């Protein structure tokens, strides 16, 4: 049986990495008591809390954390009519935090994610590992069988082209989970008691041309490199689909990273995912997506961006046009989603004029 780490007595790092260059984004509908166990690792950093649901509810944050909190009223006030692109009653609202941040890096985590233990019993500083992943290169053009060649104690294996060993900038660090795996509803129903107890000490670059199902509960990225593509779509209240927010963002991000020559890493760090969501509720949210993804995946696999698309914004607008053309025949939802993708970029550029394409 796998259990979360006990961080009582764990000292705080006196020189936390990227302290002034990173924001932590947390979507929530509840008090953030879970931050107590993360205190040794996260307290030095600035938090952006995106409150979902009832904006009149007060969210309690443990003392000592530096944070700003946005609820739906704030989102409507800041974005005006463009607030329509931010999901309501769904954790997809977290991407508003990416938009209002002014830092280079983002770490986002769910409020049911606790500190994991490595095989030796030591508490895992997930943020520190994400930062290490982001600060060292990726190798998307040729697979290294010893996984991440830039980690201490590893290197490029015999036969790896020297011309590719410099690598490329890493845009995304995708972490994993012990205990409750990130399964879809049908798999949850078939395997209700399954728990992930395997701690695999590995980080690898996802090869160019390969898509992956991105999970947003333990994720870090370079906001300056890929931020405008981290849109978690239209989910939740008033939408025909849910639980595809992070995966939609991941598919868009991977296509754009491949086009721009950026890297995506997956593996370490682990968090302890404490709570399984209701599979029957999940099935209602995922039902259409389970069918649609059989068309969505081939769409992204065949998506080709033009040579003229040299910024993330330009790439994303091109993708939105493809979504409208190719996916709208499946369901009118994709027509609305394509429009929301454009609105998202417009809102991003308004709040971040220095990064405007």
Q: Using an 8 Å Cβ cutoff, are 115 and 39 in contact? A: no
Residue 285 lies in a domain: yes
Q: How many domains does the chain have?
A: 1
Residue 86 lies in a domain: no
- State the distance between the two ends of the chain, measured CA to CA, in whole angstroms: 50
CA distances from 43 to 14, 154, 274 (A): 11, 32, 21
- Closest-CA residue to 5 (of 104, 155, 125): 125
Residue 245 lies in a domain: yes
Task: Identify any residues that bridge with 194 across adjacent strands, giving them in sequence order.
Answer: none
Q: Using an 8 Å Cβ cutoff, are 177 and 218 in contact? A: yes
- In this prediction the pTM is 0.97
Q: Using an 8 Å Cβ cutoff, are 274 and 113 in contact? A: yes
Tokens of 199: 């701690």
Residue ranges of E strands in the chain: 22-28, 46-51, 66-70, 105-109, 113-114, 170-179, 203-205, 218-222, 263-273
Q: Which domain holds residue 170?
A: 113-351
For residue 210, what are the contacts with CB-CB under 8 A and spacing of at least 6? 254
The tens-digit pLDDT sequence of the chain (357 residues) is 789 999 988 998 889 999 999 999 999 999 999 999 999 999 999 999 999 999 999 999 999 999 999 999 999 999 999 999 999 999 999 999 999 999 999 999 999 999 999 999 999 999 999 999 999 999 999 999 999 999 999 999 999 999 999 999 999 999 999 999 999 999 999 999 999 999 999 999 999 999 999 999 999 999 999 999 999 999 999 999 999 999 999 999 999 999 999 999 999 999 999 998 999 999 999 999 999 999 999 999 999 999 999 999 999 999 999 999 999 999 999 999 999 999 999 999 999 997 555
From CA 278, how far away is CA 189, in angstroms rounded?
9
Residue 294 lies in a domain: yes
Cis peptide before 269 (omega within 30 of 0): yes
Residue 248 lies in a domain: yes
Residue 106 lies in a domain: no
Residue 189 lies in a domain: yes
């Amino acid at each position: 049986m796998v259990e979360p780490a006990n961080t009582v007595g764990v000292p705080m790092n006196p020189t936390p990495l990227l302290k002034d260059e990173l924001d932590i984004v947390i979507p929530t509908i509840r008090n953030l008591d879970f931050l107590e166990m993360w205190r040794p690792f996260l307290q030095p950093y600035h938090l952006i809390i995106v409150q979902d649901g009832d904006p009149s509810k007060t969210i309690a944050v443990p003392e000592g954390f530096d944070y700003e909190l946005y609820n739906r009223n704030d989102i409507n006030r800041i974005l005006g009519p463009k607030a329509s692109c931010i999901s309501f009653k769904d954790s997809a609202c977290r991407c508003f935090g990416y938009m209002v941040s002014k830092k280079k890096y983002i770490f986002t985590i769910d409020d049911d994610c606790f500190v994991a233990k490595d095989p030796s019993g030591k508490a895992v500083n997930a943020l520190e590992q994400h930062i290490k992943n982001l600060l060292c290169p990726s190798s998307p053009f040729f697979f290294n069988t010893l996984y991440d060649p830039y980690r201490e104690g590893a290197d490029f294996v015999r036969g790896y082209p020297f011309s590719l060993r410099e690598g490329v900038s890493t845009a995304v660090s995708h972490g994993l989970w012990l205990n409750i795996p990130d399964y879809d509803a049908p798999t949850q129903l078939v395997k209700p008691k399954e728990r992930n107890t395997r701690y695999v000490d590995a980080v690898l670059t996802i090869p160019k041309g390969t898509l992956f199902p991105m999970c947003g509960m333990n994720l870090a990225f370079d906001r300056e490199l890929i931020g405008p593509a981290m849109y978690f779509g239209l989910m939740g209240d008033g939408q025909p689909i849910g639980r595809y927010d992070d995966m939609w963002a991941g598919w868009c991000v991977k296509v754009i990273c491949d086009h721009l020559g950026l890297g995506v890493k997956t593996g370490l760090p682990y968090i302890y995912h404490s709570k399984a969501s209701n599979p029957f509720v999940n099935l209602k949210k995922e039902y259409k997506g389970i069918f649609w993804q059989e068309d969505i995946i081939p769409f992204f696999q065949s998506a080709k961006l033009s040579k003229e698309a040299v910024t993330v914004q330009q790439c994303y607008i091109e993708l939105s046009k493809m979504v409208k053309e190719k996916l709208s025949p499946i369901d009118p939802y994709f027509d609305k989603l394509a429009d929301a993708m454009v609105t998202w970029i417009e809102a991003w550029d308004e709040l971040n004029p220095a990064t405007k394409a």
